[in-house]
Amino acid sequence: MLTSHPTPTSLRRPEPISGAGKHRLLTGKSASFRPRLVRGGVRALISSGDSKTGVEIAADQKFIENNGSVVSSSSSLNVRAVITIRKKMKEKLIEKFEDQWESFINGIGKGILIQLISQDIIDPVTKSGKIAESFVRGWLPKLSGSPNVVQYGADVAVPQDFGQPGAILVTNFHDKEFFLMEIVVHGFSNGPIFFWADTWIHSVKDNPQSRIVFKNQASLPSQTPPGIENLRHDDLSRLRGDGKESRKLHERIYDYDLYNDLGNPDKNEGLVRPVLGTDERPYPRRIRTGRPPTRTDPNTETRIEKPHPVYVPRDETFEEVKQNTFSAGRLKAVLHNLVPLIAATLSKSDIPFTNFADIDNLYKDGFLLIDEDRKDGRKNQILTSAMKQMFTVGDRLLKYDLPAIIKRDRFAWLRDNEFARQMLAGVNPVNIELLKELPIVSELDPAIYGPPESAITRELLAKELNGINVEEAIKDKKLFILDYHDLLLPFIEKMNALPDRKAYASRTVFYYGENGILRPIVIELSLPPTDSSPRNKFVFTHGHDATTHWTWKLAKAHVCSNDAGVHQLVNHWLKTHACMEPYIIATHRQLSSMHPVYKLLHPHMRYTMEINALARQSLINGGGIIEACFSPGKYAMEVSSAAYKSLWRFDMESLPADLIRRGVGVEDPSVPGGVKLVIEDYPYAADALLVWSAIKELVESYVDHYYSEPNSISSDPELQAWWDEIKNVGHHDKRNEPWWPNLETQDDLSKILTTMIWTGSGQHAAINFGQYPFGGYPPNRPTLMRKLIPRVGDPEYEKFLQNPELTFLTSLPTKLQATKVMAVQDTLSTHSADEEYINQLHHIHRLAFNDSEVQKLFEDFSVKLEEIERIIHQRNKNVELKNRNGAGVPPYELLLPSSSPGVTGRGIPNSISI
């Protein structure tokens, strides 16, 4: 078996092979290939374990070229490999010296060894492909079009009977890693051969194994050329690891673990959090880091706190452009978080908004560091001066950009029709459902949560519909509901016991009128039953008197708070970020990089694991920003787990299936996506179906191309292992559910892949990049409420009657909470400069296929998305579509495929990259 382990002693710089010398690469501890040049022909042996026996390739010295190439006969072909390496954009002085040293080492031919492996010609002894090798040589690397990209050359002499290379082994003898973009081999009869890499090559100091880079050609397992079949298995085995030890940052090992790293019991009892991924609290799996358990809880993994990096496989980390963008975003978040924290410390209290001018000043004047009531003026002057020096800004450190929702109409958020419009065209347009029957009934245990019937009765609806027959409205599909009752009610008592948190479980009923406008008509807010109030359900309508007018506003704010929490914890984090991670892990563990499904999915996996690791470190962790600023507080991830348990199922993550399940669409094969919308002017769904159908068309054509033979799906061992692992390991807690699709036919595979690609691209874009445009104005979308709605007899009721505006504003998040959320939403809504969008022809698709038919599929897909962009622009100009056009109404652009960098409120990246 041919594998690729230079030996630990190769940490010493090897001497180049010459006519007077020999070069030896010793083995590691697993079966390995180790060339050794001797006189007297070619012979080879299989090595295993720590055996001293190794594979020996011998050649008469007169056939050993000065550049170190191995030649196995008197006639050979000279080929040239061009190695493209990306350098750092910003280097420290010491790194520049290190680069000069590396260039010197490469120049004398001792830095990078490449070994070409024949895919066709089998060595009769090793039973694997023949090998030709050479060190990279050249004193001055060739500069490419980019100042940070350089190219080196390696001249390789290969036997005339070598055939075509199918893989290259790369060994890095430098002291540190380097980023290999690609290798192109020139000199073979049918043109240059591309070896796409885009990978970090570790130093032999860290790992003696050579890296395996395959030719850019998609191959099913059964089509693997015989010379590289062993390498295909070997590469996957390395990526899986052994499930032991703590992972090191240079490694590329993909394995699974529970969400047991969110709490920090060693720090204090207040940061204890339950493990997610158990029978009681099911959850998808995350990447395993292997860190040791905490001292106080053996079930909790020790944490790595920022700014120290959390392990993800090396190639999953941010590239430098992304790191710079994200660092800038983090700096902005520091400004936005640290300054209010300092101000709060100086004033000894967290300050609520007391009038709307306080909010407006965030966008006009900003939030001042200097506290007018400071007692120690000198101390604060020093602090202010230090902040100025650190950030080179003036006193106004907290000035926000005006969010899109109030940029055109600052009072839009007050109106009922805007409240309803955002359920169809806002940042969370995926929870509204058709109200199919009355009475509305809870599925919670009535012995614990009280009578199951909702307080929203047929009679109440009839009153609010002004004479419209309720039964006819239901039959004509005019009534819709936003129902968070059953998900939230089990947590309300614990949430309301937290300081300054007050929440209800909510239901909201909407009416879709003949004028095409959706409007809310009834809101139900529920608390857990008590002995004195076994039916703690309160109903609100918009009314006409002043008091009802304000209580209606407060009720809508509570609904928005619930919607913000469900959006962030369920639809955004759980259903896109967390659920994609097991797909990514399984893809690397079970699908070779040669596999056509791997090549299809690869662009849709970029950066996701890194952003998830950062979220576990700072956002969803115990004491993190989500807990600090959203209603569920320390129970946030338990709410997310409850949603996974009761709501998530893979087959319903398909866009058409979700729309049909919610009753907002009906099956219709004659329209894009196969679904006709019940509300025609539903911007999210209408645009999403266009993108979904384009993805579906691409995937179906792609699958048909590679799996044209009968039983080719069921007989693909890598593919079957991949799907089996996703179901049984990645989503272990759901492994026995009957709704998992089978994977036997082309149609099965197409549906699975379309759902995954849609989840990581269009679905995430639709619910992520509108976070600041909609949530950047706290009254429009408060992430928590701090007070229950005053009722007659409550101590706060008289204050409410005297100053309802103050009651409303002091019920919203404080200035500190609001600015924290705004900073995070601003960062999460930002496209980096190196974003890869779904309408762009990805480089892996441009280079990875020698098949013109497959290349045309991706070119046609890009053209299709350009057409979709034109259609969306036309829709946004259509005056008949009132949910995306009108006085002060922002256009719906979240599903426009392209975008420029920054907070644009548009653009579909290939992957969950932020």
Q: Which residues are part of the catalytic machinery?
A: 572, 577, 764, 768, 914
Q: Is 531 helix (H, G, I), strand (E, B) or coil?
A: coil
Residues constituting the chain: 914
Rounded to the nearest angstrom, the gap between the alpha carbon of residue 766 and the centroid of all alpha carbons in its chain is: 13
Separation CA 216–CA 221 (nearest Å): 15
Angle between helices 546-566 and 804-811 (to 10 degrees): 10
Residue 696, both tokens: 């579906």
> Which residue, 639, 619, 509, 502, is CA-closest to 561?
502
How far apart are the C-alpha atoms of 707 and 86, rounded to whole Å?
A: 36
Question: Cα–chain-centroid distance for residue 44?
Answer: 47
Handedness of CA 633, 634, 637, 639 (dihedral sign): negative
For 687, the enclosing helix (H) or strand (E) is helix 683-706
- Omega cis (within 30) before 313: no
Rounded to the nearest 10 degrees, the angle between the axes of helix 852-876 and helix 683-706 is 170
- Structure tokens that stand for 865 in this block: 């998305």
Burial class (CB in 10 A: 0-12, 13-18, 19+), 16: middle
**Nearest to 178, CA basis, from 82, 99, 80:** 99
Q: Which residues contact 633 (CB under 8 A, 6 or more apart)?
A: 495, 498, 501, 627, 784
Residues paired with residue 171 on neighbouring β-strands, in sequence order: 113
Q: Which residues of 649-667 are buried (b: 16+ CB within 10 A; e: fewer)?
A: bbbbbbbbbbbbebbbbee
Phi, psi of 77 (to 5 degrees): -110, 130
Task: Give the C-alpha separation, 134 to 158, whole Å.
Answer: 10
Rg over CA atoms, the chain: 31
How far apart are alpha carbons 662 and 647 in whole angstroms? 12
Give the CB-side neighbour count of residue 757, counting CA atoms within 13 A.
26
Give the Cα-Cα-Cα angle 755, 910, 827 (nearest 5 degrees): 115
Residue 459: name the closest of 448, 447, 470 by CA. 470
CA–CA separation, 538 and 523 (whole Å): 8
d(CA 896, CA 651): 26
Give the phi and the psi of residue 867 in degrees, each rounded to 5: -65, -40
Cβ(546)–Cβ(808) below 8 Å:
no
Q: Are 334 and 390 in contact (CB under 8 A)?
A: no
E strand residue ranges, 128-177 = 129-135, 137-143, 149-159, 165-172
d(CA 362, CA 402): 9
Distances (CA, A) of 435 to 456, 492, 563, 664: 12, 24, 18, 10
State both tokens at 564.
């913000």
* Residues near 602 by beta carbon (within 8 Å), at least 6 away in sequence: 593, 844
Please give the Cα distance from 199 to 213 (Å, whole number). 9
CA–CA distance, 603 with 474 (Å, rounded to integer): 44
| Those residues with Cβ within 8 angstroms of residue 344's Cβ, 6 or more apart along the chain or in another chain | 350, 351, 816
Q: In angstroms, rounded to a whole number, what is the distance separating the alpha carbons of residues 281 and 300?
A: 15
